[in-house]
Structure 1
Amino acid sequence: MKKEKKSFSMPDMYIIIFFVVMLAALLTYVVPQGYFATEDISYEVAGEEKTKTVIVEDSFQYVTDDDGNPVKQGVKLFASGGENQGFLNYMFEGLVTGDKNGSAVGIIAFLLVIGGAFGIVLSTGSVEAGISKMIVKMKGKEILLIPVLFLLFSLGGAVFGMGEEAIPFVLIVVPMTVAMGYDAIVGIMITYCATQIGFATSWMNPFSVAVAQGISQIPVMSGAGLRIIMWIVFNIVSIVFTIMYAKKIKKNPELSVSYESDEFYRKDLESNMGKDIKFGIGDTLIILDIVITLIWVVWGVIKKGYYIPEIATQFFTMGIIAGIIGLVFKLNNTTLNSIALSFRNGSKDLLTAALVIGMAQGIILVLGGTDPAQGTVLNTILFKTSGLIAGLPQALSAWIMYIFQSIFNFFVVSGSGQAALTMPIMAPLADLTGVSRQVAVLAFQLGDGLTNLIVPTSGLLIAVLGAARMDWNRWAKFQVKFQLILFVLASIFMFLAVAIGYQ
């Protein structure tokens, strides 16, 4: 008798995070706690003065006991009454971390509101009808959408740090790419991935480059020449990669790692095949509602500095208007109760992603949080790792800075947050190794931005995957190849920057 081959099954995302939290908890028993002195610095961006709390150079100290020995304080299994984080507390505490402007609780609320709003919009059937109409017009030319959309989203990431704003687009673009014979991965690549490529290679991103340069005390927005070239190269390579992948999937859809999860979209398409899909005045108004909202969001982000609370409310408004239009024009038999049900179902679709975001935040909490002035294991890891770079050759030092920033991004995925924690250490460290501070900033932005495409602790990535109905395991299986390409490109630019004396 033939023995059945046992195939390896990738653990669920919840299981992966659980074991990472467990590893973080074990580290607290062997790594002593440390902290830094901090200070507020100011810098200018586009003529506007900004301030940021940063680490003071050479200020690291261990938390010590009465005898002067470094303290190792392992987390408890369970904590109560405002005690330090407990291992089993990571789920709830992770979910309620932060405030409405970010971290876990803000992003989770953002997701649920966005999901509900688009649940109403999609229930009208207008988006589906619009996609069908566009596919007919684009027949044979679908591939042209890939470079056009990729560059638009990449510019959004480069110019104003587009990130969370990509989630609503994923809800629209992914069904479109599946309908065109591609898969959800293509939809994510030309939306979210494009924004992060732009974010990582930007010459003017106010949330990463500007903050890092201000903290490093070099002219803000300086060194744009090499970064613009880098943006062009990364976009060309990424677009070519996406087009080649898209063509392969169109030829054989079953090769896609998202083939099973894309079944939801395919069934929806099949259920409407043969139907005479009409696109009337009501449908036109729904599409107009979406377009106006997107323009409103972009305007608000660029001109008014809108962030998570305002953007969520803008899309909530879009959902209400879509519901009213659906009622008036009786789109897809819309009723008051069906609007409420659609909102509830839309929010439910992103609930899994919301839970993962909270769980991932628990990793950071177990390590003590990201406050540099508090005694934490994470601060000690930061200090010890940075010390390994001193004394190495210039090119190798710069490259290891990039590697370090890439790894550290697993723990602190916020661009400005990572800059505040690492650049006060990396900038003077660059001076010691003979590398320019501009190169240290380049290492930061590449390490921070590119790994946003794969680290499971990124709430934004998990939200995007949730919107596309894909789990992280499948995404990581695809993304590993792309990450390797990005890693090689980033390494080349790091070595090039040192060789030309990038200032």
Structure 2
Amino acid sequence: MKEKQSWKVPHTFVIVFFVVVLAAVLTYVVPAGQFETEEVTYTQDGEESTRTVLDPDSFSYVTDDNGDQVRQGTALFEDGGGAGFLNYVFEGLVSGDKWGSAVGVVAFILIIGGAFGIILRTRAIEQGILKVIDKTKGREILIIPVMFFLFSLGGAVFGMGEEAIAFAIILVPLMVALGYDAITGVMITYVATQVGFATSWMNPFSVAIAQGVSDVPVLSGAPFRIAMWLVFTLVGIIFTWIYASKIKKDPKKSLSYETDAYFRKNGDLKDLQANFTFGHALVVLTLIAGIGWVIWGVIERAYYIPEIASQFFTMGLVAGIIGVMFKLNNMKVDDIAEGFIEGAKDLLPAALIVGMAKGIVIILGGDSPDAPSVLNTMLYGAGQAIGDLPSALSAWFMYAFQSVFNFFVVSGSGQAALTMPLMAPLADIAGVTRQTAVLAFQLGDGLTNIFVPTSAALLGTLGAARIDWGTWARFIWKFMLLLVGLATIFMIIASVINF
């Protein structure tokens, strides 16, 4: 008898390829449009900030000499640095700059992977895990709520996101060693940060910018958002705790059980002797001090991708020198280089998918409001449709639209600059407060980061956990439905009370 084969979710690369195909088809169907832009000034923390945003009343379709709307289409291949269908991987990888978009995030992921490759080569993490297991016998489950709460707080306070990749490299092996799985590790790190990010009352990268460009007092409405953050975080903790307890009883129920074999094999702590030496302690202290340095830099100096990548490289380098000095795992100088290469190689698939996902936006014409693109036309069309609905329904559709739009523009600040200048005046027309429109933006932007395969931070974290996006989608859809339900409730409450 033939074995019954279950349907398998395609590889992430395959999914993105077919989304690119769809984007290319849309360029033949949807006419290109563009907005004019203007500078908006707003006050944040007593200082004036400016942001280039679109003028919502300036939308126009691109027309040819005969006055007909232009449908740009997508060539199979473009030379001279153009963006054709077969160019999407390369053009996606080299887009943007060191502050974000694709090329900066790709470098960030590879450097973090390399730095932790060096740290892992010292085996200080394994010995530290042994120490944690020994100290938490019978209380391992408490790690889950504590970590989820702290990472959610990090997402809420300073917009923690990409940093979760580094923490996942540490905590995923720990979760597997404690009898849980890699999915639990992703839940208490990256997912927790995005729950906090989406419900934040002070996130400088989303809430502050969205309120500033919408002419809403910056960081206003905090009590409502703090209550919302507490509810979402509590629900996330309970969901993760119940799931982790089920996996603890039977690890084979985990969708990541097969890929977790890597951590069980390379970090099989059952056969290791606890030998946490002074050298191991120095490596762990380097890691703790480095993470403290990152948190300080983000909060006090607004450090972002370039600085954080350099901070993690410094951590790896110092850990490697300690490893050589104390002969941890018999390390030699060349092992520092080998560890860096191995670590970067492990996260290479995650780095590649970042460029591929960016290729979708490039095929659609880019995300610049003042350049002709299909994306601008989609933005304008959605805005017009939302403005004709009843106020409560308009508020919810704003949230739904922001969720869909986040598939194409994952950057919180970028999405705020693109969508809020259009959503804010539409909120006035629909009888929805601008504060509620900002709430729709932050919930739609933040929560979908947990699911969309175009999120560089998500794919980097999944890469560190060795989980394919298809496997992740099979697990996370139930939690996503729960979050959508909660978001709907809060959007309705906000609309009813004129938040």
Q: 1:66 to 1:328 in 2, by over 3 A?
A: same
Q: Which residue of 1 aligns with 2:216?
A: 218
Superposed, 1:195-206 pairs within 5 Å as 195-206=193-204
Q: How far apart, in 1, do the equivalents of 2:201 and 2:50 lie?
A: 20
Q: How far apart, in 1, do the equivalents of 2:127 and 2:335 lie?
A: 19
Superposed, 1:235-384 pairs within 5 Å as 235-270=233-268, 272-384=269-381
Q: Which residue of 2 aligns with 1:45?
A: 44
Per-residue displacement from partner, 1:213-251 (whole Å, max 9, x unpaired)?
111101111111111110010011110000000000001
Does the residue aligned with 1:276 lie in a helix, a strand or coil?
coil
How much has 1:4 moved relative to structure 2?
A: 4.2
Q: How far apart, in 2, do the equivalents of 1:119 and 1:3 lie?
A: 43
Counterpart residue type for residue 29 of structure 1:
Y
Per-residue displacement from partner, 1:402-449 (whole Å, max 9, x unpaired)?
000000000000001001111111100000011110110000000000
How much has 1:277 moved relative to structure 2?
A: 2.6
Superposed, 1:29-40 pairs within 5 Å as 29-40=28-39
Stretches of structure 1 lacking an aligned partner (at least 5 in a row): none
Contact 2:127 2:274 in 1 (8 A): yes
Q: How much is the aligned-residue C-alpha RMSD, in angstroms?
A: 0.9
Does the residue aligned with 2:375 lie in a helix, a strand or coil?
helix
Q: TM-score, normalised by structure 1?
A: 0.98
Q: 1:282 to 1:4 in 2, by over 3 A?
A: closer
Q: Which one of the candidate residues 429, 451, 461 is aligned to 1:454?
A: 451
Superposed, 1:89-488 pairs within 5 Å as 89-270=87-268, 272-488=269-485
Counterpart residue type for residue 307 of structure 2:
E
Count of aligned pairs: 499
How much has 1:302 moved relative to structure 2?
A: 0.8
How much has 1:98 moved relative to structure 2?
A: 0.7
Q: Which residue of 1 aligns with 2:75?
A: 76
Does the residue aligned with 2:386 lie in a helix, a strand or coil?
coil
Does the residue aligned with 1:273 lie in a helix, a strand or coil?
helix
Q: 1:32 to 1:142 in 2, by over 3 A?
A: same
Q: How far apart, in 1, do the equivalents of 2:273 and 2:55 lie?
A: 67
How much has 1:89 moved relative to structure 2?
A: 0.3
Q: How far apart, in 2, do the equivalents of 1:268 and 1:298 lie?
A: 30
Q: TM-score, normalised by structure 2?
A: 0.99
How much has 1:162 moved relative to structure 2?
A: 0.8
Counterpart residue type for residue 216 of structure 1:
S
Contact 2:173 2:267 in 1 (8 A): no
Q: 1:3 to 1:115 in 2, by over 3 A?
A: closer
Per-residue displacement from partner, 1:280-314 (whole Å, max 9, x unpaired)?
11011000000010011111111111111111111
Per-residue displacement from partner, 1:311-365 (whole Å, max 9, x unpaired)?
1111111111111111111100000111111110010000010111111110000
How much has 1:146 moved relative to structure 2?
A: 1.1
Moved more, 480-489 or 146-155: 146-155
Counterpart residue type for residue 234 of structure 2:
I
How much has 1:81 moved relative to structure 2?
A: 1.1
How much has 1:9 moved relative to structure 2?
A: 2.0
Does the residue aligned with 2:271 lie in a helix, a strand or coil?
coil
Per-residue displacement from partner, 1:245-270 (whole Å, max 9, x unpaired)?
00000011111111111111111243
Moved more, 22-31 or 148-157: 148-157
Does the residue aligned with 1:371 lie in a helix, a strand or coil?
coil
Does the residue aligned with 1:387 lie in a helix, a strand or coil?
helix
Does the residue aligned with 1:103 lie in a helix, a strand or coil?
coil
- Note if 1:9 corresponds to 2:2: no
Moved more, 3-12 or 244-253: 3-12
How much has 1:10 moved relative to structure 2?
A: 1.6
Q: How far apart, in 1, do the equivalents of 2:17 and 2:337 lie?
A: 35
Q: How far apart, in 1, do the equivalents of 2:352 and 2:140 lie?
A: 35
Does the residue aligned with 1:370 lie in a helix, a strand or coil?
coil
- Percent of pairs with identical residues: 62
Does the residue aligned with 1:453 lie in a helix, a strand or coil?
coil
Stretches of structure 2 lacking an aligned partner (at least 5 in a row): none
Q: How far apart, in 2, do the equivalents of 1:460 and 1:298 lie?
A: 17
Per-residue displacement from partner, 1:372-431 (whole Å, max 9, x unpaired)?
000100100111111111221111110011000000000000001001111111100000
Per-residue displacement from partner, 1:97-137 (whole Å, max 9, x unpaired)?
11111111001111111111110101111110010111011
Counterpart residue type for residue 264 of structure 1:
Y
Q: 1:444 to 1:336 in 2, by over 3 A?
A: same
